[in-house]
Structure 1
Amino acid sequence: MRPIARVMLAAASGLFLVTPGPAVAAPAVSHAQLPTMSAEPNGVQAPFAELADGNTGAVRWSRQPNTRTPMGSITKVMTALVVLEAGNLDRAITVPQAIIAYDRKYDGSTAGLVPGEILTARQLLYAMMLPSGCDAAYPLAEAYGPGQAAFIAEMNATAARLGLANTHFTDPSGLPAPTGHATYSTPADLVKLGMHAMAQPVFRDIVGVQTYHQPAGPANRDHVWRTTNLLLRDYPGTVGIKTGSTDAAGTCLLFETVRAGQPLLGVVLHSSPTSDAVAESDARHMLDWGFGPILSLIPIP
């Protein structure tokens, strides 16, 4: 029987030998082993962006990383983090009547909640993070503040504790505040926030699913919540995180993808005034560049 031919791939970082046999987990790839074709990713339209090593936080590439700018519903990452750190995710929360005026005032995205429904905090986190429900962010803030003002104060206190010096919150969902003061952050701060949030197992589980079905119960309607983060569906290895979009912020995306054990975490802000597809395309360009040609050949489990 003739020997089976072995395929060798030559690269600047060494030789990769591919032979038949049982599948094994790919080893983690160091920062130095990630080859790139150019000095920076091509085709990124976002004026504010950053890409970092998801293990160490080392910045791979950035554009205006410390410029303050609106971030839309990426705000909900901090809202979720405050709730998770407070705990008691099985507590029952009644959806208040006030969500109707709250969502309508700024045409906020919703999870289809109706006043009077009773859901757990955990269920509301799915409603907030997948379809980007402002109608879920509001009752979470009301319950955990308690009240909006106290909750927003805790969001800002958490930002200060995490060293996010260029981040400020005025609303738990990312909608414009009635006073006109803006919620803002920077690419560098949002990458730090994303890394901290993704280190929380419950948060990681929530933002990593594409669809969540909440069956009808004695006090709630039937809901099917689908993620707005299409990178989860379209780019193999993506494990989160969150989209954002308002008139002031344009289309934004905070994302993490893992290839061959190497996570890359990045953000794009104001990729386009209205097109989520442009933000997704920006993220793709950054990830393709960051992982390089060799990692792109490694099969994704």
Structure 2
Amino acid sequence: MKRFLPFVIVAALLFPTFSHPVSAAEGQSAELATKARSAVLIERDTGAVLFEKNSQQPLPPASMTKIMTMILIMDALDKGKITLNEKVRASEYAASMGGSQIFLEPGEEMTVNDMLKGIAIGSGNDASVAMAEHLAGSEKAFVTMMNKKAKQLGLKNTHFANPTGLPVKDHYSTAYDMAMMAKELLKYDKITNYTGKYEDYLRQNTDKKFWLVNTNRLVKFYQGVDGVKTGFTGEAKYCLTATAKKGNMRVIAVVFGAETPKERNTQVTQMLDYAFNQYQTTPLYKRNALIVKASVSKGDQKKVNVVTSEPISILTKKGASTKDVTTEVKMNQDLKAPLQKGEEVGMLIIKKKGQVVSQSPLVSQGNVKEASWWHLFKRTMGMFNHSS
């Protein structure tokens, strides 16, 4: 049985603490999100909350639900479970989805790459269900995966009932939880190749060529915006989880319940402006940066590369010093095979003047299989012969 770090440390990882000067209270005096039911503004790398309004209030997320759908797709791609070029067949059920769609026909096949375009750019409900069935075997099984991932991310006010966001009972999230989902999705650099495109085409070189236009108009009209997902239903009103990057800094702004698309976009724009005007980030590590080589017992290899699971930065007010920053590595005790690629094996703690400012999971860079008894026997004999 694996032994892990104390619970209090794991909890701190999921709910980071931040040092001066990045508390949400500082943003409350700003006139932001006045026409939204709820909103939140965070810096991506640290997860620091720069502004919030009713950010823990459960509300219908509409098609912002597809952020979690895309997380599971990107995770499967990252772990080699699927490829961008493999074909996905649309079932009759997937093709029957209403609302936003790319008009899949029953039995039609599209690549994962094109399905991702259909979800990220066109908000296709049919594409979302087709991918759900492809990954999990059924929509119901995929929803179980969605809720399991939400728990892993520490999202306490989110529950999914479908992969699309179409109105249904017991389907809700919050502005804060949605920001954390976007934070997770943006770990995968290639996702913005989809969410950041304003227009593209499906079924090219056929007589059914289909034009996609991004439902997130800020991709075209706000410099630096390259995602993530809009949402609208009669109950949810106009919603948007947006991300923008300028220089070294990436921020995420979430708005629930605006009355019009214009109000939604205006409020998100104001939140993004506020973040870039008031704060700055200093990058420390890119995703997949090698931190340490750790010993693994009973594995087919003795050591595994331990790498960062996400980009890691220091966030400060503009003009503030970034000196006196130190890092500390804490590994889970007694690492034993088997280990899966991406499995959490430790934590990187970032400190400024000795005070913890953020914490981030460290993961295994690759798979470590459990060694056979013969492999272990030969290893033991080799050690014995060497010592003699």
Residue 41 of structure 1 contacts residue 286 of structure 1 at CA under 8 Å; is this kept in 2?
no
Deviation per residue, 1:255-295 (Å, 9 max, x gap): 111223222211000112xx222111110121222222899
Give me the CA root mean square deviation. Answer: 2.4
* Percentage of pairs with the same residue: 27
Q: Which letter maps to 1:286? A: M
Equivalent position to 1:268, from 246, 252, 255: 255
Residue 44 of structure 1 contacts residue 286 of structure 1 at CA under 8 Å; is this kept in 2?
no
Q: Which residue of 1 aligns with 2:64?
A: 74
Question: 1:201 & 1:119 partners in 2: Cα distance?
Answer: 23
Q: Which residue of 2 aligns with 1:210?
A: 198
Residue 47 of structure 1 contacts residue 64 of structure 1 at CA under 8 Å; is this kept in 2?
yes
Equivalent position to 1:246, from 215, 228, 233: 233
TM-score normalised by length of structure 1 = 0.78
Q: Which residue of 1 aligns with 2:211?
A: 224
Q: Which residue of 2 aligns with 1:195?
A: 183
In the alignment, structure 2 segments of 5+ residues that lack a partner are 1-19, 281-388
Residues 165 and 222 of structure 1: is their aligned pair in 2 closer, same or farther, counting only changes over 3 Å? Answer: same
Residue 43 of structure 2 contacts residue 250 of structure 2 at CA under 8 Å; is this kept in 1?
yes
The offset of 1:236, in angstroms, is 1.1
TM-score normalised by length of structure 2 = 0.61
1:167 aligns with 2:154: no
Q: Which residue of 2 aligns with 1:61?
A: 51
Deviation per residue, 1:24-49 (Å, 9 max, x gap): xxxxxx977xxx99822346311200
Question: 2:103 & 2:148 partners in 1: Cα distance?
Answer: 30
The number of residue pairs the alignment matches comes to: 253
Question: 1:118 & 1:216 partners in 2: Cα distance?
Answer: 13
Deviation per residue, 1:171-201 (Å, 9 max, x gap): 1100123xxx231111111111101101112
Relative contact order (alpha carbons < 8 A, sep ≥ 6): 1 or 2 greater? Answer: 1
Deviation per residue, 1:49-75 (Å, 9 max, x gap): 000112211100000111111110000
Question: 1:31 & 1:140 partners in 2: Cα distance?
Answer: 42
Question: 2:28 & 2:63 partners in 1: Cα distance?
Answer: 32
In the alignment, structure 1 segments of 5+ residues that lack a partner are 1-29, 296-301
Question: 2:254 & 2:27 partners in 1: Cα distance?
Answer: 21
1:123 aligns with 2:84: no
Deviation per residue, 1:96-132 (Å, 9 max, x gap): 22245431xxxx1112332232101221011011111
Q: Secondary structure at the match of 1:160?
A: helix
Question: 1:244 & 1:117 partners in 2: Cα distance?
Answer: 26
Residues 43 and 185 of structure 1: is their aligned pair in 2 closer, same or farther, counting only changes over 3 Å? Answer: closer
Q: Secondary structure at the match of 2:92?
A: coil
Q: Which letter maps to 1:60? A: L
Question: 1:266 & 1:101 partners in 2: Cα distance?
Answer: 32
Structure with the largest fraction of strand: 2
